[in-house]
Amino acid sequence: MTDKDPGPEPEEGEPVEPENAAKASEAALGDSIYPHTDTFYAGPELNKGVPADPVFIRVLSAIEIAIGVTLFALIVFGVMYQVLGRYFPSISWVGAGEVALMSMIAMTFITTGYLVGRNGHIVLEIFDELLAGRRLFVALRVTSAVIMVATSLALAYEAFVKIETEWGRLSAAMHVPVGTLYLFALVGFLSAAIHSTFKIPFANRPERKLDIGEMEG
């Protein structure tokens, strides 16, 4: 019997030794056509070695997540109330759909900064692999952060303008000023600018990735 030989397979009902089980698992993975993937679930230490965020960023992220979770709960409430209204017409409420729709839009805006700060937004990483480990990679990250700051500030300004112009327009069911949605947009894009600004002086350190576990609380 060689070192790589896991030994004879145990008969049905016979306990498997941990050492043999580990060898069998490694052998099965070695025969797989799919390469190893380092995701949060495959590797729990996703952000190992990444320096902790400043207190201000942690507090800001916690506030954004709390508001985002509340808005998500309103989405679920609005959708489920609409479903109940189909079976029980006496309790139907036309505003339920509006609650879900407006909450979805507001949640998209308010979590912008959180996602930008943890690379949870949509990005095109064309040169990242080519420049990884070089000084040009740091320059690339600084350039992308600066572009993100400028874009976020421009969108924040547009949201600020829309607050005033859209405040007099009310929603159909609940008569909520449509400008309220742009308040969430203003806060979200300002937060994205702040998160991107904090990335600039730390462009040479490992970058924090989106950790789903942070949003479970």
Q: What is the pLDDT of residues 60-119, one digit of tens each?
A: 989 999 999 999 999 999 999 999 998 998 888 889 999 999 999 999 999 999 888 877
Within a domain: 30: no
Within a domain: 75: yes
Instruction: Give the SS3 label for residue 134.
Output: coil
Within a domain: 42: no
pLDDT of res. 44: 44
Return the exposure string of 67-101: e unless at least 16 CB atoms fall within 10 Å of the residue's CB, then b: bbeebeebbeebbebbeebeeeeeeeeebbbbbbb
Query: CA–CA distance from 88 to each of 81, 85, 184 (Å)?
Result: 10, 5, 34
Within a domain: 24: no
Query: For 126-173, what is each residue's pLDDT tens digit?
Result: 655 656 666 677 787 888 889 999 999 999 999 999 998 999 899 888
pLDDT of res. 116: 87
Q: Which amino acid is at 157?
A: Y
- The phi and psi torsions of 177 (rounded to 5 degrees) equal -55, 130
Domain range for 60: 55-211
H runs (alpha helix) in the chain:
18-30, 55-87, 95-110, 112-117, 128-131, 135-166, 179-199
DSSP string, 75-99: HHHHHHHHHHHHH-GGG--THHHHH
**40 has a pLDDT exceeding 70:** no
Within a domain: 6: no
Mean pLDDT, the chain, rounded, equals 77
Within a domain: 160: yes
**Whether 203 contacts 145, CB under 8 Å:** yes
pLDDT of res. 16: 47
pLDDT of res. 110: 95
Count of the separate structural domains present in the chain: 1
Q: Measure the CA–CA gap between 2 and 126, rounded to whole angstroms.
A: 46
pLDDT of res. 43: 47
**41 has a pLDDT exceeding 70:** no
Query: CA–CA distance from 92 to each of 78, 81, 96, 97, 209 (Å)?
Result: 11, 7, 8, 10, 42
Within a domain: 17: no
- Find how far residue 31's CA is from the centre of its chain: 33
**Whether 102 contacts 171, CB under 8 Å:** yes
Within a domain: 193: yes
